[in-house]
Amino acid sequence: MAQPRAWQRMLSGRRLDLLDPTPMDIEIEDIAHGLAFVARWNGQTHGDYAYSVAEHSILVEEIYRRLYPKEPVKWQLAALLHDAPEYVIGDMISPVKAAIGPDYGELDDRLTAAIHIRFGLPAKLPATVKKRIKKADKVSAWLEATQIAGFSVEESNKFFGKMDSALIGDLKLRLRPPMETRIAFTERHAALMAAL
C-alpha cells in the first residue's frame, strides 16, 4: 500500500515535505502568502476582511519591540515568524490542538526548526525568548478579542490577563485585503533581515 502524500506544492514551486521539512524548501513569499489567507479566530471576527495570521504576526512583532526595545533584531524576527508554520498547517484554536494531541506539536516543531534555520535563527529558541514572544502574543490576543472578536474587556482579562493601557492604548487592529497584508509582512521581514 502506498504511503499517503505528505508534501505540499507551494506557489513558489517548492515542494515542502511536512514530515521532513528542509530549510531549502522555505520561501518567505510562500509564508507571507499563506499566512495572509489564514484567518485567526476561525474567521469569527467583525469586519469586511478576515483578521489574518500575517496581520497578527506583524502586530506581535510590534508589541514585542515595545515590550523589549533592547532585544536583538534576531528575536524581533523570531516574533514575526512565531506562527509561520501555520502557512501550511493553518491556525487551529487551542481546544483543537489539545484534541489532536502531541502530533500537532511535533509537526509544528519540525516546521518551526526548518523556518528558523532558513532565516538564520536557532532551530530552537531560548526559553526566555519564547516566553517573551508568548507574552507579546497574549497582548495581541487581548487586543483581537476586544476589538474584533466580540469579547468584553472582563472576559479578555480573564483569558489573556489584564493589559497595561500605556502599552496598548494606541494599537488599533488593521483589517485589510490579504494582498496588502502579504506585502506588509514581506516588507517587515525584509527590513528585519537587512538589520541583522
Cell triple for 50 = 478576515
In a domain, 150, yes or no: yes
In sequence order, the 6+-apart residues with CB closer than 8 A to the CB of 177 are 49
Please count the structural domains in the chain. Answer: 1
How far apart (Å, rounded) are the C-alpha atoms in residues 87 and 145?
A: 22
Q: To the nearest whole number, what is the mean pLDDT of the chain?
A: 94
Task: Identify whether 3 is part of a domain.
Answer: no
CATH code of the domain in which 138 resides: 1.10.3210.10
pTM of the model: 0.95
Q: Evaluate whether residue 77 is within a structural domain.
A: yes
The model's pLDDT over 29-51, given as tens digits with 9 standing for 90+, comes to 999 999 999 999 999 999 999 99
| Residue 20, in any domain of the structure | no
Q: Whole-angstrom Cα distance, residue 9 to residue 80?
A: 23
Is 17 a member of any domain?
no
